């Protein structure tokens, strides 16, 4: 209906949305239900450069990844998916406030003289399921601390700091918390939210091409734009 009166609708996309991955370990539900606190999740472009990064909590699910970090990154992932038409790489850092050198030094100290397997030698370094998964990824699950070389410790820390996985898509708009895109702001009076094309036509909420990082910002935007457009529409109606 808005298009019929000449307004431009910018492309709609899901944001604040869980991430869907076809990685084998996701399909096999290896880490399903595992939650991680205060990790860093980054979205990479095709050249491997970071588009956005957020330090928040994350949850592995049967379909991919959810939790605050995933929801925060979803808008950027959807835009990159639209741009490239290919799966988007994300990178997980379990220790965003610690350097690789510091982590290598800690694990090296733990490994000296240890005749136990690394799952036991490095117990408590990561959640047990994730520790086992990373060790298996590097074929180190049966190795003891004493047998572990400096290079193997470096490779393990690299995995802890930069574990990459592909995101194929996000939940659709109807199953997401927020919709990106909408009526172009170039065609709206920013002070009154009245259409620049049709007198007496006002917009508010998700009709507008406005969306924030989290649900709270979007609820605030809905209330604020609803108040502004409602007040101005009411004043115009009284003047008639």
What φ, ψ does residue 20 adopt, rounded to 5°? -110, 130
**Are 168 and 87 part of one and the same domain?**
yes
Q: Which of 112, 70, 106, 103 is nearest to 88 (CA)?
A: 70
Residues with Cβ within 8 Å of residue 147, at least 6 apart in sequence? none
Burial class (CB in 10 A: 0-12, 13-18, 19+), 50: exposed
48 and 146 assigned to the same domain:
no
**Domain region containing 73:** 11-95+163-174
Q: What is the pLDDT along the chain (240 residues), one digit of tens a residue?
A: 888 888 999 888 888 899 999 999 999 999 999 999 999 999 999 999 999 999 999 999 999 999 999 999 999 999 999 999 999 999 999 999 999 999 999 999 999 989 999 999 999 999 999 999 999 999 999 999 999 999 999 999 999 999 999 999 999 888 888 888 889 999 999 999 999 999 999 999 888 988 776 667 888 988 999 999 999 999 988 887
Are 21 and 73 members of one domain? yes
How far is the C-alpha of 121 from the C-alpha of 102, rounded, in Å? 17
* 180 in Cβ contact with 217 (< 8 Å): no
Residue 52 in any domain: the answer is yes
Please report whether residue 179 resides in a domain.
no
Are 85 and 23 within one domain?
Answer: yes
Quick one: 198 and 141 in the same domain? no
Please check whether residue 2 is in contact with residue 183, taking contact to mean a CB–CB distance below 8 angstroms.
Answer: yes
The owner of tokens 């350097």 is: 99
Claim to verify: residue 88 and residue 129 sit in the same structural domain:
no
CB within 8 Å of 217: residues ≥ 6 apart: none
Q: Dig out the tokens for 108 from the structure.
A: 């090296």
Looking at the domain assignment, is residue 152 inside a domain? Answer: yes
The contacts found for 102-109 with CB under 8 angstroms, 24 or more apart, are 103/157, 103/160, 103/161, 104/150, 104/153, 104/154, 104/157, 107/153, 107/156, 107/157, 108/150, 108/153
Domain assignment present for 205? yes
Instruction: Choose among 68, 79, 24: nearest CA to 46.
Output: 79
Looking at the structure of the chain, the number of domains it has is 3
Structural domain includes residue 27: yes
pTM of the model: 0.82
Task: Note whether 129 and 235 are same-domain residues.
Answer: no
CATH number reported for the structural domain that contains residue 37 in this entry: 2.40.30.10
CATH number at residue 106: 1.10.8
| Residue 54: inside a domain | yes
DSSP 8-class letter at 99: -
Distance of alpha carbon 151 from alpha carbon 159, whole angstroms = 12
**Domain shared by 120 and 83, yes or no:** no
């Amino acid at each position: 209906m808005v298009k019929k009166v000449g307004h431009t609708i910018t492309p709609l996309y899901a944001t604040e949305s869980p991430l869907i991955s076809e990685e084998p370990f996701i399909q096999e539900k290896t880490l399903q239900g595992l939650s991680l606190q205060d990790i860093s999740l980054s979205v990479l472009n095709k050249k491997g450069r970071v588009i956005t990064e957020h330090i928040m909590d994350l949850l592995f699910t049967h379909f991919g990844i959810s939790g605050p970090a995933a929801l925060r990154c979803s808008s950027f992932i959807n835009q990159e998916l639209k741009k490239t038409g290919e799966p988007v790489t994300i990178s997980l850092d379990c220790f965003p406030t610690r350097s690789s050198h510091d982590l290598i030094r800690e694990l090296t100290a733990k490994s000296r003289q240890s005749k136990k397997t690394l799952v036991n030698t490095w117990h408590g370094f990561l959640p047990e399921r994730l520790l086992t998964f990373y060790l298996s990824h590097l074929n180190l699950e049966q190795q003891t601390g004493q047998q572990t070389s400096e290079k193997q410790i470096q490779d393990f820390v690299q995995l802890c700091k930069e574990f990459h996985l592909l995101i194929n898509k996000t939940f659709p708009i109807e199953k997401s918390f927020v919709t990106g895109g909408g009526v172009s702001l170039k065609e709206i009076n920013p002070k009154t939210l009245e259409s620049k094309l049709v007198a007496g036509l006002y917009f508010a909420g998700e009709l507008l091409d406005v969306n924030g990082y989290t649900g709270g910002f979007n609820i605030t935007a809905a209330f604020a734009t609803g108040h502004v457009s409602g007040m101005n529409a009411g004043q115009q109606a009284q003047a008639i």
